[in-house]
């Protein structure tokens, strides 16, 4: 098994969860109504919790690597950590890698926008993550399978919650329909990336520890279609897809997010908090 690919694969799952969790947390204290402030914050907590499991696993993997294996993933390691002279830890991975080392999907890093953008993005992502993690339960990698299983209950809730909001806003007022339609126009071109495997995903699927994301597209479209019907929304015709996130080519938004998120770790390298 190619450990380099596995390391990247785990990081990618972790980055998705962390970046979307960080975005959703921006709502905390600013939600449209108290109960929903709590709900979106819960999703944020779940996602950051998943990210922690995954980063911890990636760190464990790395610390157990042979010298050659460690060398092979050098490009993904946080530079400041190299001077710390200690084992790799979860926060090194989440809080000290550079923008070009983050492998998250572009859709997770887009600004939170209004409630329509936030809930529709969550729906697109959760519908994908639900399918991905369902299959990941069968991973040949026990750790990944266990993390997927543990997370699935949470993801199922995110999917239900976000589906309900898409329906509510689509089939709500004229304004809410207008806003979610605008959000759809904004977000649609970022959904294709989920199903376009990059090298380490292809390898992961072939070796049985990862998921063949291309194969999830149909089920995902079915789910979206069902929810959209109830929401009186139509699936856009355009099939052009933005890509690059899983290879570290991001939108201009991610830099600002990381700047803020990593501020203290960068200012006080290797401090204990």
Partner 1 sequence: MSVQELEKIFQDKIDNEIRIEPKDWMPEKYRQNLIRQISQHAHSEIVGMLPEGNWISRAPSLKRKLILIAKVQDEAGHGLYLYSAAETLGISRDEMTEQLLSGKAKYSSIFNYPTLTWADMGAIGWLVDGAAIMNQVPLCRTSYGPYSRAMIRVCKEESFHQRQGFETLLVLSRGNEEQRAMVQDAIDRWWWPSLMMFGPHDSESQHSEQSMKWKIKRFSNDELRQRFVDMIAEQVKLLGMTLPDPDLKWNEEHKHYDFGTINWEEFWNVVSGNGPCNKQRLEARNKAWSEGAWVREAAVAHAEKRAARKKQVAA
Site residues (CB under 8 A) for partner 1? 18, 22, 25-26, 28-38, 41-42, 44-45, 48-49, 51-52, 55, 79, 90-91, 94-95, 98-100, 114-115, 167-169, 171-173, 175-176, 179, 186, 189, 240, 242, 244, 249-252, 255, 259-261, 263-265, 268, 271-273
Cα Rg for the chain, rounded, in angstroms? 18
What are the structure tokens assigned to 191, written together? Answer: 């959904």
Q: How far is the CB of 215 from partner 1 (least distance, A)?
A: 25
Question: For residues 95 and 155, which CB has a smaller minimum distance to a copy of itself in the complex?
Answer: 95
Can you tell me the distance from the alpha carbon of 265 to that of 273, in angstroms, rounded to the nearest whole number?
A: 10
SS3 state at 237 = coil
- Give which of a copy of itself, partner 1, none residue 212 binds (C-beta under 5 to 8 Å, depending on kind): none
Q: Is 266 in the site for a copy of itself (CB under 8 A)?
A: yes
> Is there a contact between 192 and 241 (Cβ–Cβ < 8 Å)?
yes
Only one of the segments 125-133, 215-223, 231-239, 258-266 lies at the binding site for a copy of itself (rule: CB under 8 A); that segment is 258-266
SS3 state at 138 = coil
Can you tell me the distance from the alpha carbon of 87 to that of 209, in angstroms, rounded to the nearest whole number?
A: 25
Q: How far is the CB of 101 from partner 1 (least distance, A)?
A: 11
State the CB neighbour count (10 A cutoff) for residue 270.
15
Q: Is 185 in the site for a copy of itself (CB under 8 A)?
A: no
CA atoms within 13 A on the CB side of 217: 10
- The burial class, CB within 10 Å (0-12 / 13-18 / 19+), for 107 is buried
> Is there a contact between 245 and 103 (Cβ–Cβ < 8 Å)?
yes
Q: Kindly tell me which residue out of 256, 270, 271, 273 binds a copy of itself, with binding defined by CB under 8 A.
A: 256
Question: For residues 249 and 268, which CB has a smaller minimum distance to a copy of itself in the complex?
Answer: 268
Q: How far is the CB of 188 from partner 1 (least distance, A)?
A: 11
How many residues bind to a copy of itself according to rule CB under 8 A?
7
């Amino acid at each position: 098994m190619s450990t380099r690919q596995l390391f990247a694969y785990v990081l990618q799952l972790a980055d998705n969860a962390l970046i979307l969790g960080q975005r959703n947390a921006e709502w905390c204290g600013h939600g449209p109504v108290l109960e929903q402030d709590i709900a979106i914050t819960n999703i944020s907590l779940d996602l950051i919790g998943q990210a922690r499991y995954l980063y911890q696993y990636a760190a464990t993997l790395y610390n157990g690597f042979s010298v050659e294996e460690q060398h092979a993933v050098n490009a993904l390691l946080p530079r400041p950590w190299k001077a710390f002279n200690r084992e790799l830890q979860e926060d090194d991975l989440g809080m000290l890698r550079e923008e070009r080392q983050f492998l998250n999907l572009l859709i997770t890093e887009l600004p939170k926008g209004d409630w329509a953008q936030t809930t529709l993005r969550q729906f697109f992502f959760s519908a994908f993550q639900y399918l991905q993690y369902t299959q990941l339960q069968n991973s040949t990698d026990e750790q990944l399978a266990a993390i997927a299983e543990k997370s699935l209950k949470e993801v199922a809730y995110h999917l239900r919650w976000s589906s309900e909001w898409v329906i509510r806003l689509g089939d709500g007022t004229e304004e809410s329909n207008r806003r979610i339609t605008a959000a759809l126009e904004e977000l649609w071109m970022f959904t294709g990336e989920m199903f376009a495997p990059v090298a380490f995903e292809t390898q992961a699927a072939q070796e049985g520890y990862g998921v063949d994301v291309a194969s999830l597209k149909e089920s995902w479209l079915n789910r979206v279609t069902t929810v959209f019907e109830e929401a009186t929304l139509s699936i856009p015709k355009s099939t052009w897809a933005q890509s690059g996130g899983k290879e570290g080519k991001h939108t201009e938004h991610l830099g600002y997010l990381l700047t803020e998120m990593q501020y203290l770790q960068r200012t006080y390298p290797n401090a204990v908090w």
